[in-house]
Amino acid sequence: MFDAVLAGLPLFLTVQTVVLVALGVAFGLVVGALPGLGPLMGMILVLPFAIGQPPIAAIGLLTAIFVAGSCGGSVSAILLGIPGTPLAAATLFDGYPMAQAGRGADAIGIAISASALGGLFGGAVLIVATPMLAEFAGGFTAPEYTALAITGLVTVAVISEGSLVKGLLAGCFGLLIATIGTDQFSTGFRFTFGSYHLLDGFHIVAIVVGLFAIPEMVWQVMRPSLDDKVALPPVRVGLRAVGLTLLHWANLLRSSALGAFFGAIPGASGVASSFVAYAAAKALAKPDERYGEGAEGGVVATEASNNATVGGTFVPTLALGIPGDAGAAVLLGALIILGVFPGPALFANSPEIVGGIFLVYLLANALLLVLGILMTPLFAYVLCIRGSNLIPIVLLLCAVGAFALQASIFDLWAMLGFGLVGILFKAARYPLAPVVIGVILGPLLENNYRRSLLISRDGHWIFWDRPISATLLVIDALLIVGVILYGIRQARRRARCTEVA
């Protein structure tokens, strides 16, 4: 594998490649930060330009947007309470409270540092353990994906703030939304009400922007401080942020490893990995860390995980030719246009291309740390803008982002509709993140469950016949039992306290 890295050096060490990677990082941070855009949109926007460049420079540009865009979403999550991308949804839990407590610069610095370090960890995993991870993930079939999706849904119960029941209900609402569209198995239309716009369901970006951005903006409008100009001390992010991040080294390593693992499994998204990493960090945290109220560890966990996922995503994309997510699919399409065919043969026939891709990935993460920290004052400046000026700009960007995905007015209405749903959920104190998890995992769960039963010759026994799916399902069952027992214990404790009082 290191031979491939050496072989890729001549392709990598060109001014064009380095400049395009740097531009990609800057552009990725901006599109990631802007709610409704994100890395996928950024990659799609530059794709026509990228395919005119030499292969490694082109992939460097797209990879840099992928990497930096995955981090950029944290900036708006921290400063505005709106995840710029679904990847940053979990960053909101502690990043936003940190910003509210006047530690926005620290939160951004930690997010950037954790992203870069998590990304570099993902890169190391990518280079050192690609064959092993590829072999492991490559063996997953429908029963394993079913069990994996259930694991993701069970984490909803763990991550939900407040009522577990409300969290599960919100997750089920997400699952129901995911059923809208064309049924993959019968090719029949479900809940489309005769509208062709719904033939493929709602676009995930319209859902996420609507659910998170609109209610947040409405809440901000209702605040008495709408016209107040926020006075912030000068934002200086330096090596201190790296130091703060490294204080959570165990969390950083664990979350990065989880991210790389999730990324290597096609279909398992960075969103799920960040929620799982957050749940793990929260479960293992000391009582005084106060997760959900501005814990540094929460930001470290989610950002390290979702950026390490990018590295992991490259494993099935390069080793198997199977894109792990939509962003990887864009990369895969670009590679094919450039005459590079991902798959096991690529490692044998074109090690210099594989090595070049590894190197641009590592450079993108290194530059993310440098450029991210340098550009933090620019991001922090957003907080200095009056709410009455910022809110229309944010809403305009949300609208542009939702519209630009498919040039569809319907997506705008969908965004507004989900905005209304988000307002109702927020007013009733229902968590919003489980809705998104349900929407993302719904098709993965339903299709693989039904596919498993079609493949099986013994009905549901297929899930127990396969060791990985059986293990995951046992873990899920233990988690559910554990959560229920924990809930009963908490309820009894509260009842006892009430009696004493």
Partner 1 sequence: MLIRALATTAVAWGLSASMATADYPERTIENIFPWTQGAAMAASQIVAKAMSEELGETITIVSTPGAGGTKSFITAMGRPADGYTLIDGWVAPLVLQPVLGNADWSHEDFKPLHAAHSVPFSIGMRAGDDRFEGIEELMAYCAENPGELRYSTDARNNLPHMVTARVLQAYECVAQNIPYGTDGDAIKDLKAGVLDFAYVNPRAYIQEPDAFDIVLVLSDDPGAAATYGGAPTFVDLDIDLGISGLAPMGWTWWLVHPDTPDAETETLRQAMGTTMAREDVREQLRGIGFNPLSYGPEQYDDVVGPVRAQLESMRNAIAWEEERMGGL
Binding stretches for partner 1 (CB under 8 A): 47-48, 51-52, 138-139, 141-142, 181-182, 184-187, 189, 196, 199-200, 266-267, 320-323, 326, 329-330, 332-334, 336-337, 339, 341-346, 406-408, 443, 447, 451, 454-455
**212 within 8 A of 480, measured Cβ to Cβ:** no
* Residue 360 token pair: 């641009």
By the 10 Å C-beta count (0-12 exposed, 13-18 middle, 19+ buried), 226 is classed as: middle
Instruction: For partner 1, give the closer residue by CB, 4 or 462.
Output: 462
By the 10 Å C-beta count (0-12 exposed, 13-18 middle, 19+ buried), 31 is classed as: buried
**Helical packing angle, 433-455 and 204-222, nearest 10°:** 160
Measuring CA to CA, how many Å separate 401 from each of 75, 213, 272, 409?
17, 12, 23, 11
Q: What is the DSSP letter of 234?
A: P
Closest separation between CB of residue 159 and partner 1, Å?
A: 27
Instruction: For partner 1, give the closer residue by CB, 454 or 497.
Output: 454
Question: Helices in 265-408 by DSSP H: which ranges?
Answer: 270-284, 296-320, 326-337, 344-349, 351-384, 387-406
Locus of tokens 């855009």: 37
Instruction: For partner 1, give the closer residue by CB, 237 or 445.
Output: 445
Torsion 20-367-12-306 (CA) sign: negative
Closest separation between CB of residue 442 and partner 1, Å?
A: 12
Closest separation between CB of residue 27 and partner 1, Å?
A: 18
Instruction: For partner 1, give the closer residue by CB, 396 or 455.
Output: 455
Which one, of 214, 196, 179, lies nearest residue 406 by Cα? 196
Instruction: For partner 1, give the closer residue by CB, 173 or 341.
Output: 341
Instruction: For partner 1, give the closer residue by CB, 107 or 272.
Output: 272
Instruction: For partner 1, give the closer residue by CB, 52 or 162.
Output: 52
Taking the C-alpha atoms of residue 190 and residue 343, their distance in angstroms, rounded to an integer, is: 36
Return the amino acid letter for 202: F
Which one, of 116, 20, 24, lies nearest residue 74 by Cα? 116
Instruction: For partner 1, give the closer residue by CB, 187 or 498.
Output: 187
Instruction: For partner 1, give the closer residue by CB, 108 or 340.
Output: 340
Question: Helices in 81-203 by DSSP H: which ranges?
Answer: 92-100, 104-138, 142-159, 164-178
Closest separation between CB of residue 402 and partner 1, Å?
A: 15
Taking the C-alpha atoms of residue 161 and residue 156, their distance in angstroms, rounded to an integer, is: 10
Closest separation between CB of residue 273 and partner 1, Å?
A: 19
Closest separation between CB of residue 327 and partner 1, Å?
A: 10
Instruction: For partner 1, give the closer residue by CB, 200 or 227.
Output: 200
Instruction: For partner 1, give the closer residue by CB, 124 or 136.
Output: 136
Measuring CA to CA, how many Å separate 129 from each of 121, 162, 311, 312, 343?
11, 39, 11, 10, 16
Closest separation between CB of residue 214 and partner 1, Å?
A: 25
Closest separation between CB of residue 119 and partner 1, Å?
A: 23
Torsion 292-294-297-299 (CA) sign: positive
Closest separation between CB of residue 452 and partner 1, Å?
A: 10
Closest separation between CB of residue 404 and partner 1, Å?
A: 10
* Residue 224 token pair: 């008495």
Closest separation between CB of residue 54 and partner 1, Å?
A: 15
Element (H, E) at 182: strand 181-182
* Residue 422 token pair: 């988000």
